[in-house]
């Protein structure tokens, strides 16, 4: 029986490997660990998964998982995402409940006020532009500038790779007829969504409270992923325009980029800066496992005790 890991044993999400995509396998827990199994020619092949060092697992079509295996992934704070074919489209996510709400509270406060929400959105565009955005700049102006920048990027990459008449197209119902660039871009973007989703959940934030996107459970995922597409997934997709298996190659190359460029720690750092520009990354929460009671006058109040003798007389 594998015991639950202590808090000090768990790697931070920023220190984890990025993601692992699985398809047509059964994931189960045995006496050694969590493994992916495949039945072939009357024998069972097993590959053990480094769950303690994975930020997220993408579960593609034909996958199944046992309850003990899922419990182990949750104990190690590994996000599990259920995706469509080739890792394209993300349907649902499972996460650990052993998370502090400190960053969720920062996110909720910033999101609930129009002024601070606009400031976060402007910081997002400043990361995309690699430049400072003036506070007086409206979101409409920023969207227009970003749209023009993306058009120019697509045109430049198409010219560089000798691709004529390229048009971004994503139709999950007509996947096989799409161009290799579109297939690679869709697969790479979904893998990027998975890692961003894991980073968001790893901080204890809500993927639903977006600052630019809105109305979907993955709104913040799209916000954060958009920060990195122009630098990573879009150039990668165009470089694979002659690849016979663009979606698979896109995932493998993106995983290599995450490892080589340490993109996951960068996502965590950027997300923290977006929500709290004054945050000191060296300052950690003292007791992340403690639950407090909220009091409008006193702030955090100790939980788990009887307050009958500590409350003032009515």
Q: Do the domain assignments include residue 313?
A: no
Q: Does residue 52 sit in the same domain as residue 152?
A: no
Say if residue 110 is exposed, middle or buried (CB neighbours under 10 Å; 0-12, 13-18, 19+): buried
3-class secondary structure, 297: coil
Q: Does residue 164 sit in the same domain as residue 226?
A: yes
User: Got the DSSP string for 124-146?
Assistant: HHHHHHTSPPPTT--HHHHHHHH
Closest CA to 15 of 77, 90, 59: 77
Tens of pLDDT, residue by residue over 180-193, are: 999 999 989 988 98
- What CATH number is given to the structural domain containing 129? 1.20.120.920
Can you read off the two tokens belonging to residue 87?
């890792």
Mean per-residue pLDDT, 161-172? 83
Contact 198, 184 (CB under 8 A): no
Domain total in the chain? 2
* Helix residue ranges, H only, the chain: 67-75, 102-112, 114-129, 139-160, 180-202, 219-225, 234-239, 246-261, 263-275
Q: Do the domain assignments include residue 294?
A: no
* pLDDT bracket for residue 95 (50, 70, 90): low
User: In this predicted structure, what is the pLDDT of residue 288?
Assistant: 46
Q: Do the domain assignments include residue 119?
A: yes
Average pLDDT of every residue of the chain: 82
Q: Does residue 59 sit in the same domain as residue 157?
A: no
Q: Does residue 145 sit in the same domain as residue 82?
A: no
pTM beyond cutoff 0.75:
no
| Domain residue limits at 18 | 7-94
């Amino acid at each position: 029986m594998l015991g639950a890991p202590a808090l000090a044993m768990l790697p931070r999400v920023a220190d984890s490997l990025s993601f692992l995509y699985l398809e047509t396998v059964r994931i189960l827990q045995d006496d050694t660990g969590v493994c992916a199994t495949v039945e072939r020619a009357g024998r069972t092949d097993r590959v053990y998964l480094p769950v303690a060092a994975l930020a997220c697992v993408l579960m593609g079509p034909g996958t199944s998982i046992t309850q003990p295996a899922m419990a182990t992934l949750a104990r190690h704070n590994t996000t599990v995402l259920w995706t469509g074919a080739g890792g394209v489209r993300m349907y649902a996510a499972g996460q650990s409940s052993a998370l502090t709400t400190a960053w969720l509270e920062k996110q909720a406060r910033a999101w609930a006020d129009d002024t601070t929400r606009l400031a976060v959105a402007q910081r997002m565009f400043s990361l995309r532009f690699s430049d400072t955005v003036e506070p007086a700049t409206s979101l409409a102006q920023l969207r227009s500038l970003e749209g023009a920048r993306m058009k120019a990027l697509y045109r430049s990459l198409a010219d560089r790779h000798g691709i004529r008449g390229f048009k971004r197209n994503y139709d999950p119902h007509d996947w096989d007829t799409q161009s290799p660039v579109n297939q690679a871009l869709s697969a790479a973007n979904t893998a990027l969504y998975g890692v961003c989703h894991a980073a968001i959940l790893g901080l204890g934030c809500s993927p639903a409270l977006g600052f630019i996107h809105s109305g979907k459970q993955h709104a913040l995922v799209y916000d954060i992923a958009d920060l990195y597409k122009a630098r990573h997934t879009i150039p990668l997709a165009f470089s694979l325009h002659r690849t016979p298996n663009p979606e698979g190659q896109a995932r493998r190359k993106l995983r290599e980029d995450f490892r080589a460029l340490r993109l996951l720690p960068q996502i965590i750092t950027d997300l923290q800066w977006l929500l709290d520009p004054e945050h000191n990354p060296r300052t950690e929460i003292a007791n992340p496992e403690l639950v407090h009671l909220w009091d409008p006058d006193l702030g955090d109040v100790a939980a788990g005790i009887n307050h009958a003798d500590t409350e003032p007389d009515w």
